[in-house]
Amino acid sequence: MVSSRPTKSWLLNYRPNPHASLRLFCFPYAGGSAGAYRSWPSALPLSVEVCPVELPGRGSQIQQQPFTRITQLVDALAEALLPFWDKPYAFFGHSMGAIISFELARLLRAQGRREPSHLFVSGCRAPQIPGKTNSTYNLPLPEFLDELRRLKGTPQEVLEHEELMQLTLPLLRADFEMVDTYRFEASLPLDCPITAYGGLQDDEVPREKLEGWREQTTSNFILRMLPGDHFFLHSAQPTLLRILSQDIQQVAQTLKR
């Protein structure tokens, strides 16, 4: 499935920055949207053009059918964002978004296109490390809601609002299906450096599962642990953005050499 939708419909509030030396594409977690990165342009260096990616089924693409397979999604992304591969870029993805960015980087390499200058992965175990064997996306509603509460990624006011949950459930189930059905296929490591971020209190993705990302690059690997659980992306956002700003500046300096 390849999208014929306008490229900008895949990006939230896209503002071209001709002075930027690097584009940063940001991919959401399961059930999330590009809105999670709305404030990032003002918090990151001016040399970075922040591109929050809006996936089908949410935000400006809420009328579009959400994907249920990562392979199909990255195929569509590689085509839809084709005009943006013309200058150096990096990927940032949290949880599901990290796997999307990783597989998109591998697909672009296979297509002979420009590869990312850096991969920033957050709150996600290394892809070669097996996850849970039981599926979540097809659980009966009460058990599915219990899982959402356990993960703490869905606001309580949404969980308690029946009409909102009716609107949100199809997207949540589709995203969880995308994660549950993902199967890593071994290939050559990426050439770009990888920086992984994790939450010190994240029981879902402990430090040892983040360390595995080291195997997915022939270049440098850095692991940074921040305070918070699986959604430190929100709870520790000021700290994350400060560290990410420093990391991105290092990438930009490398590009100038």
Catalytic residues: 95
Q: Alpha carbon 243 to chain centroid distance?
A: 17
Length of the chain: 257
Return the H-helix or E-strand segment holding 55: none
Contacts of 80 (CB under 8 A, 6+ apart): 2, 3, 5, 7, 10
- The string of DSSP letters for 173-217 reads HHHHHHHHT------PPBSS-EEEEEETT-SSS-HHHHHGGGGGB
What does each C-alpha distance from 213 to 117, 187, 200 come to in angstroms? 16, 13, 17
Cα torsion 55, 5, 77, 34: sign: negative
CB 101 within 8 A of CB 123: no
